Structures are given as structure tokens and as C-alpha cells.
Chains A and B, each alone.
Chain A
Amino acid sequence: METPNPPRLADWLLCRLAAHRICRDVLGDLHEEFHKLEGTDLSRFRTRLWYWRQVIGTIVQYRSARGGLPDLNDSTIRHGNEGATRKMLADLLKDTRFALRGFRKSPGFALAVTVVLGIGVGAVTLMFSTLNAVVLRPLPFEQPERLVWAWGTSDQRPTNSVSALNYFDYRDQATGLESLAAFLVFTPPAVLTGGGEPERVVSNYVSPNLFSTLGITPHAGRGFVYDDERAGAENVVVLGYGLWQRRFGGSRDAIGTALIVDGDPFEIIGVMPSGFDYPGGVDLWFPARTDAFYARGRSNNNFYIVGRLRTGVPIDQAQSEVVVIARQLQEAYPEDNEGWSLTLVPLHERYFANLRPALLILMGTVGFVLLIACANVASLSMARATTRSTELSVRLALGAARGRVVRQLLTEHLLLAVGGGALGLFLASLGIRALRTLGPATLPRLDTVGIDGTVLVVTLCVTIATGFLFGVVPSLKGTNVSLAEALRTGGGKTSPGQSASKARNTLVVAQVALSLMLLISSGLLVRSFVALQGVDPGFQTEGMLLAELQLPGGRFANPEQINQGWDEVIRRVRGLPGVIGVGAIDQAPIRTGGTYNNVFAQGREPSNLAGYTPAQRRFVTEGYFGSLGMRLVAGRDFEATDRMGASRVTVINERLARQLWPNENAIGQSVVWSPVPMEVVGVVADTREFGPASPVPPMFYVPVRQSAGRTTLRMMIRTTGDPMTVAGMLRDAVWEFDENIPVSELQTMQDRIASALTQPRFRTLLVGLFAGIALVLASLGVYATLAYFVRERTYELAVRMAVGATARDVLGLVIRNGMALVAIGVALGLAGAFATARVLRGFLFDVAPTDTLTFAGVTLTMLAVAFLACLIPARRAMQVNPRQALTAE
């Protein structure tokens, strides 16, 4: 068994803070006794505790001994040096007990500060742990700082993929890159049959050096070698860890056996380690072959490129090198490569750059909450210090060392800080749990968000800064009251020093202003989200069931068999009870990404690349538009007669029609999708293809029958009633026809749209939550300040009432005082919100960042809540008994 070691941190501290000879002598004994104690049945924890106590005690004893007691030769005084430590601890205990007693007497203060601290610290911890896990942690590859991503770049498309042929040239010629790997842009689903359930898995075709470029070695077996990519090489495949466990029970005997993929056998040569699924969700890797269809054509940009820089080569150097190569390729292959280059970005940036704006907003929000919390703690501490000024000055006058009093205050604030910090950690852990279940799936590595060492350090710093700093400094200022003044003016019932109350008022104003800004942001996001939800997608959303089906290769090998297969499937599905329409498409609407194809109007062939119109292409069955409830604006839908061999037809959307034939009728014209011209037989209304928030792309639809045979299609099934009730029947109907057809990704259209809104929904909820917290904190600040105001002015209020002011007058006075501060805060907040409106523009949909309705509504809410916060102390002021207050003087 391993012998445990004494805590290294303790050793380091000892040698750092005590003389070398102490370190030398003591450490040896400590280690020896530590190991001796380990052999006894004393628990590990207690042993370490003993160790730490020894180290700290020795340090303290050493340093206090050095602190110069007057007579170094007087051994009678020095004999109990361990008493110094004990005395210090006893003092600390005494201070703690005194502090706790004080908290029990006025629990409001302690509770308020702890809660406020807890909220501030919790928010920061939550945000930082998210940042830490999602962005700051390095990518899970070998030396990730040397990895780069290569975009194919042209003027029109700065972030594009690259063709296989171009990739090979770059791979051969770029010397600044140690290796350059590529993987297919799309992750084709693969159907595994034989030896178990038919299973659909995500696969990818990769260059043989992808794994080695990323620095990941297979868990079992081998990865790919360059031999595997040549034409005519053996069919091999590498499994993902999850798939290996699921289908082969994690047995190494699986290596070398055959796996049937889409009807063909592939030899399993290796298994990747657990957790590896690059480029995302991949369970199966094939070597990309130089003779495959995806590798042909220098203009078929089917690959994304990842590379590793050679040691010592900076990315700029590699970048200039690939630019030179790109230019050479442009000259060598002008038709394909004109205007195309390669841009290298650090891999980390490629994955996380798009998160930056959202994260910045989150950080800003949390920063605001923290500032409000700090202001709250400071004003509460100041107020409390003033009320205690009598007590403190009496103690000072009676001979207590100023240092002692200061230490007392420090202990108090330390306790509050510890309490607040602990509460903050607890709240943050709740928040993290909520985040992991509710957070958007698009946030990478969400499941690794947690509180680790780094996060704890940050929490500690924030706790100390907020709780200690903002608590201690105002408190100390509060001790600067002379005894005479304190006794003369009656201590707790005095109007405090001018500067103190001015400072407190400033803090309240700041809190109100900051929380108003947060509330306005939240309001804008809410309105934006509501608008998003209300966007008409251009098709029917209710009663729509989606399902993805794939016809396995064996039985459906040629286009005719495939089309017949789909006909049969559709026929069966349409016959199900509750189904009123069925259509199919290769890529369902409401999605991200999608390939653009360059098209042009026949007869208007563009002279250069810039003249082409990029449009989204879809393959659909006849009846798709009707089932989905898409409006046919002109012309007709596809028919069964639009099949292979008949003249090529297409249906385009309004957007494309407007772009290609701006003021003409598109029906009868032809769209050229190189090199094929297709007659436009119909125009459909625009649809929100990429989700409610994104603009409508130009689209053209092609009948499935006129394609080379699509084996994977998404069914759109219109039902009466709840779509999910059809789901079970759908499976049965399909498997009756062929049990090898996987039916997957069942969802309703409404769910699909909802998940497209996950990010905005999450943002809105988060900012809303923090804005609500800020409102609570600010109200607390207003209430507390006013409460102390009343307490301090009791005498004055009593005098007023004694000379004839009514209770109502007093009420009015207090409220006016409070609302004056709130009004200033609101004014500042509005100004601030106007000034920073621009920041939110990118996140708002259909709402101006200076939307009047939002500004007005939020302001009124704030005033109302603040008014309530003023009311409570005001009413208490009304109840001041003049005779009691005056005679108490």
C-alpha cells in the first residue's frame, strides 16, 4: 500500500515563515512522528490535523518570539512560549463569542449581510465555474495550444470547408504544420445490422492522421495508417468506446471481427478511448478514401481541416505559408480555386469564439449583482458602525487598546464573510445543478461544470474582497468617533457624521441605478423572446410528427428500389389512423447549417463566382408541401410523374424567386444547378428554415424521384390530435414492411421549434433571475438605509411631533427622503441603460434596445417596489411616541 506523505503545503509554509534551522530540525521530527502516527489507528484526518497544528504552532511561536519581548534572558517569562499561541487562540475565541452575541442581539444585520454576501459570492462562483469548465479549460487533446483549424476562405465565404484534392496539396506542402488532418463535413448515419438490434450510429470519414494529429491513441487495437486511405484498400473501421461497450460488451475479441455497416462487412481494427467522439457524437470512424465520391472534384468542399503546428512555429508563420500554397493552387487550378485561400485559427478559438458575446453578457450581469452586493454590505456595515459608536467609544475610553477593538471588528466581519462565503458556495452548487439539467445543449462541456480548486480560490478572493473589505473599511471608519461627541449626542440616536450619511445615500443610489439597468436588460430580453416565439415559421406547427428513416443498403440498392421503398413506406404511414398527410424531405426545417449550392437563372450565366446565387437545396416527396402546410404561391406541387427520365423540375421559394427574377413570373423559367437546368413549376412561401431568429434563405426543392436515390429521409406526418400517439404505430407500420429500417429522432414540430429557441430562452431566464435578485438586493438597500435613517432621527421626529406634526406628516417626511434617493438612482439608471443599449442589440429580436415600453414599465415597477421598501420604516416612524423618545434623552 502507498505510504501517505505529510502535507507538503504545511512543510512549505514552515520553511517559508520560520528560520532555516527550525525548518531543518523540526521537519525531520515531524515527518518521523507523522509516519509513526500513520502506523497507529489514529485516523488519517486526525494525523494531518495534528501535523498542521504543530506547523502552525511552531510558526506562531517562532514569529512571536522574534517579536521582541523585552528581556531575552528572562527565562521565567519565556518559559511558556506555547502560552502565546494559546493566548492568541483564547482571544480569538473570546472575540468570536462576543461577535456571535452581538449578532444574536441584532440578527437583522448579520442575516442581511450573510444573505447579501451569499448571493453575490454565489453568483460569481456560478459564473466562474461555468466559464472555467466551458471556455477556460483546455481542449481534451494533446498539447491543444498547438492545434489549429483551417477554414477555406473566399471573399464571399470566410468560413468554409475545403475539398479533398486541395487538402492533399496542403498536407503535402505545408511544412510549418507538423500534420494536417481532415474529416468529412457531414456525419452520415450508418446502420449496423447482424448480431443485435439494427442500430443507427453517427459515423465520419476521416484522414488516417486525424487521431495522431489530435494526439489521441486508441484504447485498443490500432488507428488508421496512410495505407488505409488508398484506393482499393481493405474495408476497416474504428469503434467509439460507447459503441464497443454496447454492442461487444467491451471485449477485445471484437477487434479483428467484421462489423456489418449498411450491408457491407468492415473489419474492426481499433477502439477509441472513452469520451472521445470527435468531431461530435461520432461512434464510428472510417478512413476517407482517395477514390470515394466525396474526394472527387476540387470544388466539392467536403472536408474540415484540423492541424498541428510544428514545435516552435508560430501560427502566423504557418498562415503565411499556406497563403503562398493557396496562391499556387489558384494559378494551377483557376476554375476551381479562384479566390480561395486557407485561414488558420487556433482550435480553441474556433470552438469558443461564438460563445464570447453570450458569456460577456453573463459576466456583465453577474458583475452588476456583485457591485450591488458590495454596496449593500458597505452601507449596512456603515450604518451598524454608527449605531455602535457609543459602545465602541466607551470601550476605548475605558482603556481597551485600539488594536483590540479593531481586532474585534475584524473578527466579526471575518465570521460574516465565512458565513456568506459558505452560503454562496451552497447557492452556487444549487445553481450548477440547475444549469446542468436546464442549460442549453449547445453549451459545450456543460456536464463538466463544477466547483474545483480554481473555482474555490476565486470564491475565496471574492468573499474576502466583498465581505471583508467592504465590511471592514466602513466599520473602521465608524470607529473614528470621539468619546465626548458620542456621549454628548447620545450615541445611537444621533445624526451621524455628514460624510457617513452622504456615503450611505450614494450607495443606495448606486444600487438602485445598477439594478434598474439590469431590470431593463431583462425586460428587453423578455420582450424579444416573446417576439421570437410569435414568429410564423411559414408552415404548420401543430399536430406534426417528425421521424427519420433510413432504407438499408442491401434491399434498397438502386434508385428505383429506393423510390419504390419510400412509396411503400409513405403509403403505409398515410394509412394509419389519425394521419392526414405525409411527406418526406432530406433535411427537416428548423436546423442549423446546411449546404449552399450555387445556382443561376438560365440564360443569365454569371461571369464570375460572385454572380452565382447560393441557395439551399432540398429533396422532397410530392405531398410534402401540403402535409407541412406550406403555402403554394404560384404553380403546382410535384407529382408522381416528375420522375427520373422526365424533364427536370424544381419548386423554389419566394426569396429565390425574387432574387433570380425580381419583377417577373418565375413559373416556366429555369434554374441552373450546374450543369442541370430545372424548370420552375411552383413557388412556395418562405419558411424560417434556420429557426425563428434567422433570416430566410433562398431555397429550391427537387423531387426525390429525380435524385440519385436518397436512403435517408425525414418524414413529416400531419396528424389530428397528439402527434406522439402516432409514433408507436409508425414504428410498427414501418417494421412490418422491413424490420431493418431504423426509425429514429421522433419529435413533434413544436418541440423542434422550442429547442431552436433554447439559447434565447436560457439567456432570458438567466438574466431575468439575476435582475430579480438585483431588485431584491436594491430594495433591501433602500429599506435598510431608511430604517437606520429613522432610527437615527427618532429624536428629531419626536420633536416634530411634539410641536404639532401629525403622524401623516412624519410618514410623508420619511417617504420623501427615501424616494428622493430612489428617484436619483432611477434617473442614473435610465441614463446608464440608454448609454449601454447598444451592447444588447445582437441579442434582441424585433425590439429596439431603447424600447420605450420596456423602459417605462420597468421604471414604474422599480418605483413601486422601492415605495413599498420605504413604507415599512416610514410606518414605524409614525409610531414614535414623542413623550417616550424625548424623556429618554
Chain B
Amino acid sequence: MGKGEFLGEFEQLVILALLRLGKDAYGMNVRRELEDTAARQVTFGTVYGTLDRLEAKGYVRSWHADPEPVRGGRARRYFEVEPEGELALARARDMMSKMWDGVELVTRRDTAR
């Protein structure tokens, strides 16, 4: 497996957000999901940057819906996880599980972010 096929932490969060949102996965909701559930304050620029990269790698695909007045006449861009993306995500989770196996944390503090 090439180095480029490993997902970074943030990329994983984004794909998870898409999976959680399901049919409602468009830009604004993805950002909010990250903010609300993962407590990550990010800008739209960051979110779209990551989504574009994931799409370039073929893990995610996007399409534009109809323009809406509340968006100043612009269309929503929806995202969906491709099978390769799910595969990459599962690989990342497995990798982490394997590394966590047998590890016990000495200091058991809840680190809130």
C-alpha cells in the first residue's frame, strides 16, 4: 500500500461526518457536524479543501443540487462516500486498533478538547 492511501486524522473525521449525515451531507452541515460532534472549530475553507482532496483520491464524490434563494441563488454541493473511501476508513480504524491493542494508559485523565 502506498503512503498516500493512509487517511489523516482530519480526513477520517470528515468521512465519518459524511457517513453520519447520510443524505444531508453538504458543506454547511459537514462543518457543523465537525463543530458539534467532534468539537473541531474549522473554517469552510479547511472543510472544502479536505473534501476536494478526498474527491481527487476517489474516496468521495460530489454533485450540485438546485440553486436556492437563501443561499443567494447558489446551489448546495452534496457529498457521498465511495466504496474506496469506506475501505480506506476501515483500514485506518483497523490500523489504530492494532496499535492500541495491549496498550494501557498510565494516566487515565479525561482530556476534553
Residues of A bordering B, CB below 8 Å:
18, 21-22, 24-33, 35, 53-54, 57-62, 65, 73-76, 78-82, 85
Contacts and interface: CB of A to CB of B under 8 A. Distances in A.
Contacts of B96: none
Interface of B: 3-4, 6-11, 26-28, 31-32, 41-46, 48-50, 52-53, 68, 70-72, 74-77
Contacts of A35: 70
Contact of B45 (A28, A33, A61): A61
Contacts of B8: 75-76, 78-79
Nearest to B28: A29
B49 A79 contact: no
Contact of A28 (B7, B11, B27, B52): B27
Contacts of B46: 57-58, 61, 81-82
Contact of B76 (A21, A28, A78, A82): A28
B89 to A, nearest CB: 13
Kindly list the 4 A-B residue pairs having the minimum CB-CB distance in the complex, ordered from nearest. A58-B45, A28-B74, A57-B43, A79-B8
Contacts of A54: 43-44
Given A26-B27, A28-B76, A29-B44, A81 B49 contact: yes
A82 B72 contact: no
B10 A80 contact: yes
A75 B11 CA distance: 8
8 contacts: A29-B28, A31-B74, A53-B43, A58-B46, A61-B43, A61-B49, A62-B49, A79-B9
A18 B45 contact: yes
A545 B76 CA distance: 80
Nearest to B40: A82
A18 B44 CA distance: 12
Given A35-B70, A75-B53, A76-B8, A62 B45 contact: yes
A502 B57 CA distance: 63
Nearest to A63: B45
Contacts of A27: 71-72, 74
A629 B7 CA distance: 103
A75 B42 contact: no
A62 B50 CA distance: 11
Contacts of B74: 24, 27-28, 31
B4 A73 contact: yes
A75 B70 contact: no
A438 B44 CA distance: 54
Contact of A22 (B11, B45, B50, B68): B45
Contacts of B42: 82
A6 to B, nearest CB: 8
A618 to B, nearest CB: 72
A871 to B, nearest CB: 59
B5 to A, nearest CB: 10
A49 B61 CA distance: 32
Contacts, number: 93
A674 to B, nearest CB: 76
B6 A29 contact: no
A373 B10 CA distance: 52
A418 B102 CA distance: 57
Contacts of A53: 43
A273 to B, nearest CB: 37
A616 to B, nearest CB: 69
A82 B7 contact: no
Given A29-B76, A54-B43, 9 more contacts: A27-B74, A28-B72, A32-B68, A32-B70, A54-B44, A65-B49, A73-B3, A75-B8, A81-B49
B32 to A, nearest CB: 8
B44 A79 contact: no
B interface secondary structure, majority: helix
- Give the one of A28, A33, A62, A78 with max B CB within 10 A: A28
B102 to A, nearest CB: 24
A29 to B, nearest CB: 4
A32 B49 contact: no
A22 B76 contact: no
Nearest to A73: B4
B48 to A, nearest CB: 6
A65 B45 CA distance: 10
A74 B46 CA distance: 16
B43 A76 contact: no
Contacts of A25: 27, 44, 48, 77
A33 B49 contact: no
A30 B53 contact: no
Given A29-B26, A73-B4, A85 B43 contact: yes
A31 B43 contact: no
A78 B52 CA distance: 13
A31 B3 contact: no
A73 to B, nearest CB: 5
Given A29-B26, A73-B4, A22 B75 contact: no
Contacts of A29: 26-28, 31, 44, 71, 76
A33 B28 contact: yes
A32 B73 CA distance: 10
Nearest to B10: A79
A25 B62 CA distance: 11
Contacts of A79: 8-11, 50
Among B6, B11, B70, residue most surrounded by chain A Cβ atoms (within 10 Å): B70
A782 B36 CA distance: 61
A449 to B, nearest CB: 39
Contacts of B11: 75, 79
B23 to A, nearest CB: 17
Nearest to B71: A28
A26 B72 contact: no
A30 B26 CA distance: 12
A32 B9 CA distance: 28
A61 B68 CA distance: 27
Contacts of B27: 25-26, 28-29
B28 A32 contact: yes
B90 to A, nearest CB: 17
A31 B77 contact: no
B45 A57 contact: yes
Nearest to B29: A29
A25 B49 CA distance: 11
Contacts of A81: 45-46, 49-50
A62 B32 CA distance: 20
Contacts of A62: 45, 49
A31 B6 CA distance: 34
A31 B4 contact: no
A106 B75 CA distance: 57
Contacts of A60: 45
Of A25, A73, A79, most buried by chain B (CB within 10 Å of CB) is: A25
A207 B48 CA distance: 68
Contacts of A78: 8, 53
A54 B11 CA distance: 20
A54 B46 CA distance: 10
Contacts of A30: 44
A640 to B, nearest CB: 86
Contacts of A76: 6, 8
Given A61-B43, A85-B43, A31 B72 contact: yes
Given A31-B72, A82-B42, A85-B43, A26 B10 contact: no
A33 B28 CA distance: 7
Contacts of A58: 43-46
Contact of B75 (A21, A28, A33, A80): A28
Contacts of B26: 29
B15 to A, nearest CB: 12
B70 A31 contact: yes
A885 B82 CA distance: 77
Contacts of A33: 28, 31-32
A85 B7 CA distance: 22
A351 B43 CA distance: 54
B79 to A, nearest CB: 11
A28 B26 CA distance: 11
Nearest to A76: B8
Nearest to B72: A31
